[in-house]
Structure 1
């Protein structure tokens, strides 16, 4: 991975699901809805002054949302924050920088 670039797309792990779970309420508040499911499917990461995670999340049967989550450096002891998101995505939509 080049410095500042995003990693290759990888299957979501338990750690990525935990990060997604921590921003679910932030996204629900912004979208003014409750998601019936919130399953991380795959992700990319980008090292900055912390880490940006681009996560494809399944929010309903055939509905996906892409979320960008910023995780600050460990010594800052801050929770992950929702930086941006894209709604109405399909399973085959590629995760890209946004």
Structure 2
């Protein structure tokens, strides 16, 4: 994977689910609602000075969100940061850089 570009989309892993779970509260606050379902489906990563995760999250019914989470380098010892998200996504929507 080249620095700056995003990886291919991959099926979500336990780690991806954990990352999604950690920013769920921040997304709920921004959306003004809570999600009973918040399941990471697939993800892409981008190497920066840390890692950007682009995660497609199933939030119930036919609704999906795309979240962008910044994970700093381990030595910085900082929490995950919800950088951005996109709502009103469908299952087939491609996970693209945003």
Which residue of structure 2 aligns with residue 38 of structure 1? 38
Compute the displacement of 1:85 (Å): 0.4
CA drift at 1:60: 1.1
Determine whether 1:83 maps to 2:83: yes
Residue 12 of structure 1 is matched in structure 2 by 12
Stretches of 4+ moved more than 4 A in 1?
Answer: none
SS in 1 for 2:59: strand
Q: Secondary structure at the match of 2:56?
A: strand
1:80 and 1:3 mapped to 2: Cα distance?
20
| 2:97 is equivalent to residue 97 of structure 1 | yes
Shift of residue 34, structure 1, vs aligned partner: 0.2
Q: What TM-score comes out, normalization by structure 1 length?
A: 0.98
Q: Any stretches of 5+ residues in structure 1 without a counterpart?
A: none
Deviations 1:33-55 (A, max 9, x none): 00120000000000001100000
Structure 2: stretches of 5+ with no match in the other structure: none
Q: How many Å separate the matches in 1 of 2:14 and 2:79?
A: 17
SS of 1:67's equivalent in the other structure is: strand
